[in-house]
Amino acid sequence: MSNRGNCRDAKHAGAWYSASGAQLNAQLEGWLSHAHSSFRPARAIIAPHAGYTYCGACAAHAYKQVDPSVTRRVFILGPSHHVALSRCALSPAEVYRTPLYDLRIDQKVYGELWKTGLFDRMTQKTDLEEHSIEMHLPYTAKAMESRRDDFTIVPVLVGALSESKEQEYGRLFSKYLADPSNLFVISSDFCHWGQRFNYTYYDDAQGDIYRSIEHLDKMGMRIIEQLDPISFTNYLKKYRNTICGRHPIGVLLNAVAELRKNEIDMSFTFLNYAQSSECRSMDDSSVSYAAGALIVH
């Protein structure tokens, strides 16, 4: 597929999720029908970005919390998997295609972000190859279908940020997070375990390996629920858990910390957790997925 003009094609459609709009719509509706909307309207969600056969059901629990009646803009913060970035980057496209319908990038907000001098520009190749944002586009389109002509997206590719950069971007995005018409989608899988990921942490007190992985992930999830960026950073330093969206999560936690200085009351709750397989031997491997929502009270 080419990236024609200012449109970014759905590069991973047909491999990571269905390229058929009707089939994709039916799958998403099926997963969403099994999730409960107990935390609407979400101001931010954390959801996975693997192939939908692995994580589609898990992601539904986060997207079920999206309220299209209040949402006008969807920020999607995804980690960079293929290029080394020390900052954040914006797309060269104006439109992102999905098998459901096209999503327009908010050029006004992009203009505001450019003016800060804190953003690089993705190449078309980087934009097309990266899946961490694309995997959220069909779910965003589905969740927002009743307002399909009334919202825009703000895709942001997040690099390997230092702690101070996470704080800087957190401060920058906090003003957008404060706006009830904005939704933040934080793209992240959780533990990538196994020799192919060069990560085999195992606490045998937990029993089987997959239970040790779950214990490790849920320790991190509880810290995220505390909305404390410093504790999350310390957890990552201690256990080196291979949470691929740790920097987008760090940006969100720092944005929340900034708003809490103004006594804005927020809470985050994880709603679902899953693993791609149950690891029982050191030759096995798995990726974990978690879905949660941030509510402003």
Kindly report, residue by residue over 264-283, the tens digit of the pLDDT.
999 999 999 999 999 999 99
Q: Do 10 and 97 form a contact (C-beta atoms < 8 A)? A: yes
Predicted pLDDT of residue 82? 86
Kindly report, residue by residue over 11-22, the tens digit of the pLDDT.
999 999 999 999
**229 pLDDT exceeds 60?**
yes
Distance CA 294, CA 266 (A): 7
Q: Which residue has the tokens 């149950």?
A: 278
**5 pLDDT exceeds 60?**
no
Residue partners of 143: CB distance under 8 A and separation at least 6 = 63, 66, 68
Fold observed for domain 8-286: Protocatechuate 4,5-dioxygenase; Chain B (3.40.830)
Distance CA 181, CA 197 (A): 38
Q: Do 233 and 224 form a contact (C-beta atoms < 8 A)? A: no
Kindly report, residue by residue over 147-201, the tens digit of the pLDDT.
999 999 999 999 999 999 999 999 999 999 999 999 999 999 999 999 999 999 9
**247 pLDDT exceeds 90?**
yes
253 CB neighbour count, 10 Å cutoff: 26
